[in-house]
Structure 1
Amino acid sequence: MTVATLHGLERPLGSSGLLVSPLGLGTVKLGRDQGVKYPASFRIPDDDEARRLLALARDLGINLIDTAPAYGVSEERLGPLLRGQRDAWVIVSKVGEEFENGRSRFDFSPQHTRLSVERSLKRLETDRIDLILVHSDGNDVAILRDSGVYQTLAELKREGKIGAFGLSGKTVEGGLLALEEGDCAMITLNLGERSELPVADYAAAHGKGILIKKALASGHACLQPGDDPVRASFELLFRHPGIGSAIIGTVSPKHLSQNVSTAATVIRLKSY
């Protein structure tokens, strides 16, 4: 049986110059099992399991990987795991949130922003990160206007240390402001939460990038009644012209393959 993949379905992430697969692999589960909101418990995979998961993602046509300093040891693990594969991946990381001793803390200052990016470069064993997003605490507009984080990211982009920047936010106002001066916004969009759709609409009209977080409501969508809630979720996402990629966080090879097959089917049917 031929397995549906995402090969050939890459799409531009706005005008950032990045070409991304419609699904990206979220890696919080590679580094952190505290303070997460998944419906079922999980075990952080060992290096061999993580290596096989990444190889499967590549085989299925995924080229986007999403990580963050707040994802425990995710960045530190990805550096060695991705050795020799750098050009095969679009790497997204973040600044602003740290997770220590079971709690998050936030720092959006220029000093910490630069320190965070330099640290991520070392952890990921790379000389560039394709996209850095501000990991918002919810005060999107104040962060963007008052902290200096965006100005620092613009400097790092000019220095060639990052390729693009934007905001992983929580409000429409923040998402719109992020796109005015940045390259990309990561928004929440799923069957039960559609309030940030205006951000995707703006992105489509202005050549900006959109990534989707919680596309399956952190796994809760899979528990909803209906014939195929995953397919319904992807139909919602991929009919919108502004959306570049949806980040799916899983450590299950079975779930990863099923998600890719469903997304590929939805996208190919949409193109006819």
Structure 2
Amino acid sequence: MSLPTLHTHHRALGNTGLMVSPLGLGTVKLGRDQGVKYPTGFTIPGDDEARLLLAQARDLGINLIDTAPAYGRSEERLGPLLRGQRDAWVIVSKVGEEFEAGQSRFDFSAAHTRRSVERSLQRLHTDRLELVLVHSDGNDLDILEHSEVYQTLAALKQEGKILAFGLSGKTAAGGLKALEQGDCAMVTYNLKEQDERPVIDYAATHGKAILVKKALASGHVCLAPGVDPVRASFELLFSHPGVSSAIVGTINPLHLAHNVATVARILGPH
């Protein structure tokens, strides 16, 4: 029997015109192993291992890849790794957060936003990014109301350098504000944290896109004996019509295959 895949389960990313797999591959672990909140340590995979992981993701029907300047060397590694297959991927990157010498620093100015996107294009060896999200420091409303980041992203969209933009935020108020003028919100939504659910509700009724981060609570979920936490987590997510895709940052091929099989079963025959 062949393994279940997500090829027949691609869905609209809000009203962007893009079609994405219900699971996306998060790539923080390809570039950064400092200051990340995972329950167990990990080693950043070498190029061969990373290439195999990306090939496996494609074979399993994943076409969405999530990266960021704050993910260490993730973007610059992905550029060469994705050579020759750029059109097979929907790439999400970020602006606003830089990670240097083990520390995060934030800059939401117009000049930095534009420089950051140009640098991401160079690192990823591409002429466009499908989606760019503001990497919030937690002050979501302040960023959206008092910095130039959103209008700069809107200008970059007009120029065709990015196809859509939004916010990877930390509050429901920020997510709602982000969707009023933007295309997408990335929210935390899992069995333990559901404060940002109103953002998903809004997206469902307004044709906006939702990407879920920490869908598996970064590996911290524990449930009653005999209950599969991965299945329970994805059942919660995909029972909501507003969820476009969940970003899962695994570098373990078995975990990746298990996640895909679980989601394919939940979404059923297509």
TM-score (norm 2): 0.98
| Cα deviation, residue 2, structure 1 | 1.7
The residue number in structure 2 matching 1:145 is 145
The residue number in structure 1 matching 2:191 is 191
The residue number in structure 2 matching 1:72 is 72
The residue number in structure 1 matching 2:83 is 83
SS of aligned partner of 2:91: strand
Q: Deviations over 1:107-148 (max 9, x none)?
A: 000000000000000000000000000000000001001101
Return the letter of the residue paired with 1:44: I
The residue number in structure 1 matching 2:240 is 240
SS of aligned partner of 2:264: helix
1:103-252 to structure 2, matched below 5 A, reads 103-221=103-221, 223-226=222-225, 227-252=227-252
Take 2:160 and 2:31, find their aligned partners in 1: how far apart are those partners?
27
Structure 2: tracts of 5 or more residues without a match: none
| Cα deviation, residue 18, structure 1 | 1.1
| Cα deviation, residue 224, structure 1 | 3.9
Structure 1: tracts of 5 or more residues without a match: none
Q: How many residues align?
A: 269
Take 1:192 and 1:104, find their aligned partners in 2: how far apart are those partners?
26
TM-score (norm 1): 0.98
Take 1:213 and 1:54, find their aligned partners in 2: how far apart are those partners?
19
Among all aligned residue pairs of Structure 1 and Structure 2, give the percentage whose two residues are the same amino acid. Answer: 73
Take 1:224 and 1:131, find their aligned partners in 2: how far apart are those partners?
34
Take 1:122 and 1:26, find their aligned partners in 2: how far apart are those partners?
20
| Cα deviation, residue 220, structure 1 | 1.1
4+ residue runs over 6 A deviation: none
Q: Deviations over 1:8-49 (max 9, x none)?
A: 100001101111000000000000000001111111000000
1:10-89 to structure 2, matched below 5 A, reads 10-89=10-89
TM-align CA RMSD: 0.9
Q: Deviations over 1:151-195 (max 9, x none)?
A: 000000000000000000000110000000000000000000011
